[in-house]
Amino acid sequence: MKRIVVLGCGTGGTLVANRLRQRFDRHAARITVVDQDDVHVYQPGLLFVPFGLALAEDIVRPRRRQLHAGIDVAISAIDRVDVDGNVVHLSNGESLDYDVLVVATGAVLVPEETEGLLGTGWLQNVFTFYNLEGAQALGDRLAQFEGGRLVVNVVDMPIKCPVAPLEFCFLADWYFRERGIRDQVDITYATPLDGAFTKPAASHALAGLLEEKGIELVTEFNAGEYDEAARTITSYDGRVVPFDVAVVIPLHGGAPYVGRSEHLGDELNFVPTDNRTLQSQVRPNIFVIGDAANVPASKAGSVTHFEGETVVDNIERFLDGADLDASYDGHANCFIETGFHKALLIDFNYDTEPLPGHFPGPLGVPLMKESRLNHLGKLMFQWFYWHVLLPGRDVPGLGSAMPHAGKKQGART
């Protein structure tokens, strides 16, 4: 019997464990999933918490309950992986031997790497909505906010869901309009990128939306220091952005145990991974899914979802001694909330920029264009996440590879 150990029971770990259980007979493989707690947060929901559009209890469920029968669970932090001994050492003193290891421990926030960020203003006038505690505290602060400077700052890439900070700006504009105080609030988006977004075509469309909504865009801003008493952010090149409330997306890194495991991670604790096969470049029996990998795709749930099929196929091929399938194409698909019950959708992969048209085919929902239908899509996605994506069910007509039908090739926006 083969032993497969999955580290992490978030989006990637859950869907891979469930798909592996469907693929392998219980006599063929024992599957064990490790996580440090039993709290699964629906991360796309965090964006809505500060605006009172979602409650914490709406977006949290137990991790174990998302797993199919016949999957073992170990609740413990991970101390380190011995990649030569094929064994995982847990912080509770136990160890797990493996034939195949799946790293699915995602990305963590490292606010301590930015000078002054965890100062006296943290959770007072400086917040992040990238975890539950921060999103709730920010919600309380925004409810009391009567006017002033709201700055949304991405410290540096890579971050989870690169569109979320922009969505936060759009929703903040809507929120303050609804409260009738939008004219009392300056909203600024300060990003290290040279435009609103990482992909040029989408960046252009999103910069237009920022301008339309009166949100100031500050580009190539590499935050070097937070001074929370003076309420300023200073970039490494000496520019100063003042704020009354700052919403910061801190630096990200891989899970700390990756750094403690010799040869497993890179400088930022992400695992070097083949872009197409999702096999690690560390050892052939280690595979990686989701934010934990260093692949040049967005760190987003949709990427993790589309990677699942390739990871499971390749684990089976590896155990059979067959050649791996290099089929993951970098497909990402993001609904971008723009406020006022509307959203737009972008769809792209390693080689194709986001294009206008319709998804997943000519009769689908509009791409790169605001619509109410896309907003409904974003809301319905939460149901889809718990009931289709995590259980590892296939959806007819929606494969992992990026669809070309319905897209206007060569179109410019």
Partner 1 sequence: MTTTSIAGHTVDVNDEGFFVDPNQWTEDMVPALARAEGIDDLSEQHWQVIRFMRSQYQEKGTGPTVRVLGKTSGVTVKELYTLFPKGPAKVAAKIAGIPKPRGCI
Residue 82 CB, nearest distance to partner 1 (Å)?
24
Q: How far is CA 90 from the centre of its chain?
A: 25
Residue 54 CB, nearest distance to partner 1 (Å)?
28
Of the pair 138, 233, the CB lying nearest partner 1 is at 233
Residue 157 CB, nearest distance to partner 1 (Å)?
5
Residue 16 CB, nearest distance to partner 1 (Å)?
23
Of the pair 236, 383, the CB lying nearest partner 1 is at 236
Residue whose entry in the numeric block shows the structure tokens 């937070």: 226
Distances (CA, A) of 145 to 125, 149, 227, 245: 10, 10, 20, 9
Give the footprint of partner 1 on this chain (CB under 8 A): 156-158, 192-193, 198, 220, 222, 224, 236-237, 251, 267-268, 296-298
Of the pair 20, 155, the CB lying nearest partner 1 is at 155
Residue 72 CB, nearest distance to partner 1 (Å)?
35
Of the pair 183, 220, the CB lying nearest partner 1 is at 220
Of the pair 76, 198, the CB lying nearest partner 1 is at 198
Residue 222 CB, nearest distance to partner 1 (Å)?
7
Of the pair 101, 152, the CB lying nearest partner 1 is at 152
Of the pair 172, 223, the CB lying nearest partner 1 is at 223
Residue 274 CB, nearest distance to partner 1 (Å)?
13
Largest CA distance in the chain: 66
Of the pair 128, 374, the CB lying nearest partner 1 is at 128
Residue 393 CB, nearest distance to partner 1 (Å)?
29
